[in-house]
Structure 1
Amino acid sequence: MPRAAPDTDALPVDHVAVARLYGEPLFAMPQDLYIPPDALEVFLEAFEGPLDLLLYLIRKQNFNILDIPLADVTRQYLAYVDQIRQRNLELASEYLLMAAMLIEIKSRMLLPPKKSDDGSEVADPRAELVRRLLEYEQMKLAAARLDQLPMIGRDFLRAQVHIEQSLKPRFPDVEVVDLREAWADILRRAKLNQHHRISREQLSVREHMSIVLRTLQGRRFVEFEDLFDPTRGVPVMVVTFIAMLELAREHLLEITQAEAFAPIYVRLAYQPA
Structure 2
Amino acid sequence: MTKENSQTELTFKLPSFEGPLDLLLHLIKQNEMDIYDIPIAKITSQYIESLKQMQSLKLDIAGEYLVMAAMLLNIKSKMLLPNEKEQMELAESDFQEDPRELLVKQLLLHKCYQEAAENLQVAAAERSLNYTREELTPPDDIQQQQLSAEGLDVQLLTQALQRLLLQKEISKPQKRVINSEKYTIKDEIKNIRQLLQSTKEPILFSDLFKQNVDLEKIVTVFLAVLELNKRAEVHLEQKQTLGPLYLKSEVKSYVSESS
Normalising TM by the smaller chain, what interval? Answer: 0.3 to 0.5
Q: Whose radius of gyration is greater, 1 or 2?
A: 1
With the length of structure 1 as denominator, give the TM-score of the two structures: 0.43
Structure having greater relative contact order (Cα 8 Å, sep ≥ 6):
2
